[in-house]
Structure 1
Amino acid sequence: MSSPTTKSPLIEPISFGSSLTLRNRVFISALTRNRSVPTNVPNDLNVEYYRQRARSAGLIVTEGVLITQQGTAWPHAPGIWNKEQVAAWKKVTDAVHEGGSVIFAQLWHLGRISHPDAPEQVASGKPVYAPSAIVARGGKFRFLPGEPGYVTPTAIEDPTELLDLFEQAAVNAKEAGFDGVELHGAGGYLIQQFLDSTANKRTDSWGGSIPNRARFGLQTLERLIKVFGGDRVGVKLSPSGGFNDVGMPLQETIDTYNYFITEADKLGLAYFVLLRHIDWLDPVIDGKKRATPHDVLTTYAPAVKNAKYFSNGGFTREEAEAVVRDGKAAGIFFGDLWISHPDLAWRIEHNKPLDNVADSSTKYGKNYAPEEELRRGYVDYKDYRESGSK
């Protein structure tokens, strides 16, 4: 940790191209919180949550924002496919801008990690789509009776239909006042399903070779850039992760992601954020760990020539400062530390303790809980500046 007389490298400002300057490098990672009750529309409680953190964060990336009613699973996760949602998100972006921060919407489609009985999926009247009709192993839908597992998805016949949805979501995000968008290419969701040879067995131009498997993600980025411009678009990747039953042999993983990152970097993106290996996110399937652990930061850094290079994945303050100081990453996304410290960047800047204890039982909320219970573990964590602490 930086000494009281030494400025933390995390507090240095950073710019994207010529259009955005962030006041520090302490970023908020996308965090599903399931508080958009009762449906999929952001509410006043969500506005309060983002407003609290906007007072010190350099960059806020929203919780995963669903681009369509088809392709959802999580209850009470917000979407951005209709005008009501756009208007609701505008209240969030206004609050963030009033707090002096910058906010990107993380655009999300679950692909095969949905369930036909999930309420929003049912309401869509469409099947669970994925690159191939391959069921993901593991997983339980705890909000559905009987806690069912994954199902065999329907292979999407024409993936350009999904590209259109991503582009419209970007249009909606721009209307809602977002400063940019981040493509969710991690976590075993749709983008990673196309990239991963264990989830994508297509024999057409969307599968097979590495360039074919990378095609969907690259074309999605092109659609987002069409709306926002490259320096307002980022992408999150998890090359070493096995979450939601993805993961290739090591050399294939390195070859696939080096190709994808190299080609994506040519598009003029604002940033890449690479999630480092986290053991607790690595599922055990058929008696063994599913992921492909390797040093993500050093492996893929040479492929990034133009964009900013960020990381994520359970960093402590001390680890994050060392990584940025050593030039291994230009900024760090934090998750749980931002949940329990709405003033995280301020505390780092002023060398204050990170002493709020996160309550894991309230992280994802509870179905149809009263508002007072939804506030717990969401907007009620102590802000050091308001606690009277010295």
Structure 2
Amino acid sequence: MNQHIAQTLPPLALDRLPEVAAKLAERAEQHDREGSFPHEGVGHVHEAGLLTATVAAEYGGPGGGLATVVEILRVLGSADPSVALVTAMTLFTHATQATTKAWPGRHYRRLLEDSAAGPALVNALRVEPELGTPSRGGLPATTARRDPETGDWLLTGHKIFSTGAVGLRWLSVWARTEDEERPRVGAFLVRAEQPGEVPGLRIEPTWDHLGLRASRSDDTILEDVRVPGDATSGLVDPSSTDPRRDPGLLVWNNLGLTALYLGVAQAARNWLITFLHERTPSALGKPLATVPRFQAEVGEIEARLVTAVDLVSALALRFDAGDPEAAEHSRAAKLIGTRAAIDAVQRAVALVGNNALTRRNPLERHLRDVLCSRVHTPQDDSILAVLGTAALARY
């Protein structure tokens, strides 16, 4: 099986990143305006082997590490952050499987077969209307009960903010068991040959967001969705371990998603530089790029982005090398990196004025997209609480 997959997975072609990014950028504005899912963009990412970059070598993949993912997501984020986000969720799934083997073998092999045949997006559906994000604690209202005749699970619940829902091939649904003496929590793996065509599964088009509009993070409704009895991942007694998040995955999330939004900020910086070179007010008689005030402000933006990109990239390399401090420091890197990205874009907007908020220019889209960096787990208050508590405990 591994040899077969190795022959059929698209080979990883990092040298094609600029080409793929250019293709994504061509339609990013259209998808943003329409709120439409960028299926063709995901296809470009797949064809270059970027969607399966983290499939482990033992499964026939390239075994890309976090440093590779950081580079991929930063470049894709500069072109279309919605495509980058659904790519990130899939890359994180493969990376986690490489170390935890959390997916049962036959189901993960099926995912690899799907990935060989075409783009196979995966995402973990965790957030619920009442619970909110499980990173704050609590158990899901989504339930899984056994069919006594077949041994299958019947999954019922309501998930919100299901990124890429309309394009997912696999849904990893966080739920708790019913009809057991001690309920367990974990992920139940739902395969969608065509998303939305699984009996009992429907996608409600509720996503009408400020940013990342093309991510189609819609609601997912499950009504007795049938799941094979062994299609579970990490099913545990909630009192025996922290069910909220795999610690290793948090590092990928912290650094990978921060790189994505730094890519958004770099795109904003690039547009700003072009604008300042082309804009020549009649009263000035020369481009704005020659004015010292604008030069200094671009310097402020550059200083923040260069520092944040270097920090995230360096920590990713250290993590790949097995440095435990890199994982510990990834929280602070997320805080610093996302703040730098937001600040850079806001500075660009303030510098340009009305033109920055005009929809014919991409800067207003970059501003809306970069603000979404704040909502990803862990949020700033959680990061600061962890860092502060740890520092005080060392006294």
> Which TM-score band applies after superposition, normalised by the shorter structure?
under 0.3
**TM-score normalised by structure 1 residue count:** 0.25
Higher helix fraction (1 or 2)? 2
Indicate the structure (1 or 2) with the bigger Cα radius of gyration: 2
